Structure 1
Amino acid sequence: MSSPLTNTYGMLMLALLFTLIFYGVAMILGGMYFRTFPKDRMRVKVVVTILLLFVTLDAASIFAWAYIDLIELFGFPQLLDKMQPLSLVEFYCIFILGFIAQCYFALQIWIISHGNIWITSPALIFAVVQFVSATVQTARSALVGAYSRLGETESTVILEQVFSSAADVYITVVLCILLHHSRSGIKTTDTIITKLIVYAVHRGVITTVLSLLTLALFVWQPATFIFMVPLLPTGQLYAINVLATLLHRQTIRGKPAQNDTFDLNIHFGRSTRSTQRSNGTPQVQSLKPAASADGIQVLSMVCPQSTTVHTWPGDGYGKGALQHSGSDDTAVDPDDSV
């Protein structure tokens, strides 16, 4: 016969383990970001800093929660059902991290769709409803005051998890559709788009599955902590998604095809770099800072196989749609921010 703590604090320990592992990954990615992109726009750095602060608060709160219940309250089982304030802090950090990540990817949709409010609005609406319902859920949990009574908040839990999943699914599907319709027929740009689609699917599927699993386990056994195993690490995964997206800007393009020759002019805010490749041999030359009349960084690519000149405009959070002249080809690199 298993211990009565198996489905409660045993599950909490598993959730703590996964959360701390993902926290380590998030902090490594954060450190890599600041080292790799020291000249990124300040607003991008602020977003990354906020993410790192909340993942730290998230990890610290779940660790302190487990320590208080399992160490300080050891020998007082009658007190273990009382909801710790730190557990509420931990829950709310998860919701905040999810909201920030969903808003970030909604911004990517806005950029790729050239500011199409009808395409972007559903993602923002889902994210806002998720965050509002999560706030209500946290308040209701504080009012019930006991873990065994969390089942009384089932309606708001269902609302929060459904809209969280809806936001993740919508963002993933829309990004994939927009990227797919931006294929240019040029091997290099189509390879970039394929990589971006794969990234979009990977980052959306994981958080969606965890949200649905959390909902199913909560409805099944709300008086236990089984649902916390997929729930508690979710905030860390949202942060990892954003940080990984920012970091893969340097590697997403990979090596060009052997027969491709193209120029890349990348404006990194305060500096400009020109890269030329011919038959796979790169030549890089640092240039003086270049000013942009509208403050938009531009990445231009010239392919001798066509008369097309492609440019990625960006706003500091993510590059926009690949604009063009000389042909009908288009492509998109939403993640190539600054």
Structure 2
Amino acid sequence: MPDAINPLRFKPSFARQAGAQLLATVVTTMLFGVALGTIIRYFSTHSRNDSLWIKILIAALAVLATLETVFANHQIYLYFVVNNNNQDARNYIPFSMPAKTACIFLAAFLSQLRNGPSKSLALQRNPNRISRHLTTGRRIDPGRCNSKTNTVMWGRVAQNVLSMYLNGAGTAACDILISITLVIILRSTDLVATRRTKTLLEKLVVYAVNRGILTSAFALLSIFLYNFASGTLYYLIPFSANTHIYIISVISMLAAREGLRADLDRSFHVSDLIMKTMSNKTQDVATSQSSAVVEDTVRSLQYHIFTPA
């Protein structure tokens, strides 16, 4: 039975356990389609000016997102199809469950590594303890919910709550730290940056802050559901979806940077055009002045030659 420190707020049931996992898989698969579309678009239109390590990073994120979706669907297929009539088999954890969890944490690590080194350091805290909460927290048989399985599962809840909090809070804290750092950098450029550079930097900061707000909201929502909807697995929906949110946000930042780079190039072209136009006008003025001097000289010579003394 659940302990007195972490009592269940909802009674475990098939809908709250298996149904929540099914919803999480559906949402994950839908977001994977969106993430895959952004990845394909990135490599087809936005990757030509990026370094090799960024391309490798995006390719690794694509592989992790694909594996997570495959493992999630494999887990659901085993539960609802292969082991549909085998209640004992449902108590065993398939390999796809910890594999999916590993993909989630690796994708978050790589995504945060792309946005700032401080975030990658924060996500390295006790990965074994953090990954253990899913393998133990989902061992309960949603169909039967027998007392023995409940006792084994909820006896470990107190050990896993801290891991879940560290995961979500660490992810949110790293995103917020990156956003604050970018704002500080922006404020430090008030005196040394041109107006054009400052405008482009402001756009990048806005994109980064919006990305941090979105990913932090999903991470904090996982903590909220884990604590206030205990006895259910609905926290898996934002927890699993956050991987694809990270990937979409990273590629969106790269695409936005490409657009800002194009704007910067166009602004230089306009400046060059203005300078060229001014130079041409200066040359035209000089030429017209020289022509006027020559014309006056010729007229003066004609006057002295053809005028009798």
Which residue in 1 is equivalent to 2:297? none
Does 1:28 find its partner at 2:24?
no
Instruction: Name stretches of at least 5 consecutive residues in structure 1 with no aligned partner.
Output: 108-121, 264-275, 284-338
What is the deviation of 1:55? 0.6
Which residue in 1 is equivalent to 2:292? none
Equivalent residue in structure 1 for 2:240, among 232, 238, 258: 232
Which residue in 2 is equivalent to 1:208? 216
Distance 2:25 2:273 in 1: 47
Change (3 A) 1:103 1:70: same
Does structure 1 conserve the Cα–Cα contact (< 8 Å) formed by 2:75 and 2:94? Answer: yes
Change (3 A) 1:175 1:24: same
Richer in helix (by share): 2
Distance 1:23 1:170 in 2: 27
The CA deviation string for residues 109-155 of structure 1, in whole angstroms up to 9 with x for no partner, is: xxxxxxxxxxxxx54432322xxx33323246546771462625222
Does 1:178 find its partner at 2:185?
yes
Change (3 A) 1:254 1:38: closer
Distance 1:27 1:56 in 2: 8
Distance 1:198 1:190 in 2: 12
- How many residue pairs get aligned? The number is 249
Change (3 A) 1:140 1:193: closer
Equivalent residue in structure 1 for 2:157, among 138, 151, 154: 151
Identity of aligned residues (%): 21
- Structure having greater relative contact order (Cα 8 Å, sep ≥ 6): 2
Which residue in 2 is equivalent to 1:17? 26
Distance 2:32 2:194 in 1: 39
What is the deviation of 1:81? 4.3
Which residue in 1 is equivalent to 2:176? 169
Does structure 2 conserve the Cα–Cα contact (< 8 Å) formed by 1:92 and 1:134? Answer: no
Does 1:249 find its partner at 2:257?
yes
Equivalent residue letter for 2:239? L
Does 1:136 find its partner at 2:136?
no
Greater C-alpha Rg: 2
The CA deviation string for residues 276-332 of structure 1, in whole angstroms up to 9 with x for no partner, is: 125999x9xxxxxxxxxxxxxxxxxxxxxxxxxxxxxxxxxxxxxxxxxxxxxxxxx
Which residue in 2 is equivalent to 1:49? 59
Which residue in 1 is equivalent to 2:7? none
Which residue in 1 is equivalent to 2:16? 7
Change (3 A) 1:51 1:39: same
Does structure 1 conserve the Cα–Cα contact (< 8 Å) formed by 2:12 and 2:232? Answer: no
Distance 1:96 1:164 in 2: 13
**TM-score, normalization: structure 2?**
0.71
What is the deviation of 1:7? 1.1
Aligned CA RMSD, in angstroms, stands at: 3.1
Which residue in 2 is equivalent to 1:63? 73
Change (3 A) 1:164 1:280: farther
Equivalent residue letter for 1:127? L
Range with greater deviation from structure 2 (20-29 or 137-146): 137-146
The CA deviation string for residues 145-186 of structure 1, in whole angstroms up to 9 with x for no partner, is: 714626252222222222122111111221222124324674
Range with greater deviation from structure 2 (30-39 or 179-188): 179-188
